[in-house]
Amino acid sequence: MRLLSIGHGFSARALAPRLIDLGWEVRGTTRSPEKTDGIAATGVRPIVWPGDDLTPHIDWATHVLHSVAPDDGDPVIDTYGGPLQRAGLQWFGYLSTTGVYGDHGGEWVDESTALAPSTTRGAARVRAEAAWQALLPKLPLHIFRLAGIYGPGRGPFAKVKSGKARRIVKPGQVFSRIHVTDIATVLEASIARPNPGCAYNVCDDDPAPPQDVIAHAADLLGLPRPPEVPFDQADLSPMARSFYAESKRVRNDRIKTELGVTLAFPTYREGLAALLHEAT
């Protein structure tokens, strides 16, 4: 078994060691030549892309994971859609986002919910999903709609320790999130049980207000809870503010019933406790 990871980022780096332990070969792309040594140290063969031609690597692969975010278009499908369809792959995974659903005022959504993005980023993801779906059945496509990702090195502890964290309060606002370890579990389960054309929400069991997560992180550290700041008074970047434009609770039943996944971190409480334990 041979995985080509196009955009070998945070989620792909969590999956790769699991597959390598099972005897897989893994190749992963990076935009930065200076990162190749670090990638190679994990047992993954690094590829600089854009730069190198991916066609021979696509021909080599049995499985492909695509983690590159779209911009005006999807650079992978634009350049390599043809070779990917001809490669005879067993599995192709595309990492998308729950942003494709748009705003639902805190109500529940699942994979059957109509896609109605309310941000530019979400709209780009919807277009990319549709472009990849158009390549079925020649491409064994699996779509993974990821909630907000956290994990080692990505969490609220550093900001809480620095005193820069704020509990921004927007009434009714909730976010879904997912620990990167559980993303790897879902991807590994899908590889073992391929179902081309299927989309999966990848999130934990507890959509929660963001201020509750910050408060819990402070409690775990034994530090005072950061002050609450009303959303309309918060000094946020346009990117940060856009995240508050959508509020929804995302159901994850399909990863459990179809893929048999048991989440290691079903809520942010278990996830943050584990991150703190790993850091000490």
Residue 235 lies in a domain: no
When pLDDT is cut at 50, 70 and 90, the band that residue 235 belongs to is confident
Among candidates 54, 82, 87, which has minimal Cα distance to 68?
54
Domain with 78 in it? 2-150+178-203+248-264
Residue 238 lies in a domain: no
pLDDT reading at 55 higher than 90: yes
Q: What tokens appear for 239 in the block?
A: 């990117």
Residue 233 lies in a domain: no
Q: What share of the chain is helix, strand, coil (3-state, %, to 5)?
A: 40, 20, 40
pTM, two decimal places: 0.95
44, 26 contact by CB (below 8 A): yes
DSSP H or E stretch at residue 280:
none
Count: domains in the chain? 1
Residue 213 lies in a domain: no
Q: What tokens appear for 40 in the block?
A: 């190679």
Q: Residue 251, Cβ neighbours under 10 Å: how many? A: 18
For the chain, what is the total number of helices (H) and then of strands (E)? Answer: 11, 13
Among candidates 156, 161, 195, 199, which has minimal Cα distance to 175?
156
* Residue 7 DSSP one-character state: S
pLDDT reading at 280 higher than 80: no
pLDDT digits (tens, 9 = 90+) for 113-128: 999 998 889 999 999 9
**Which phi and psi angles does 165 have, rounded to 5°?**
-70, 150
Helices (H), 42-194: 55-60, 75-86, 120-133, 157-162, 180-192
Q: What CATH number did the domain enclosing 118 receive? A: 3.40.50.720
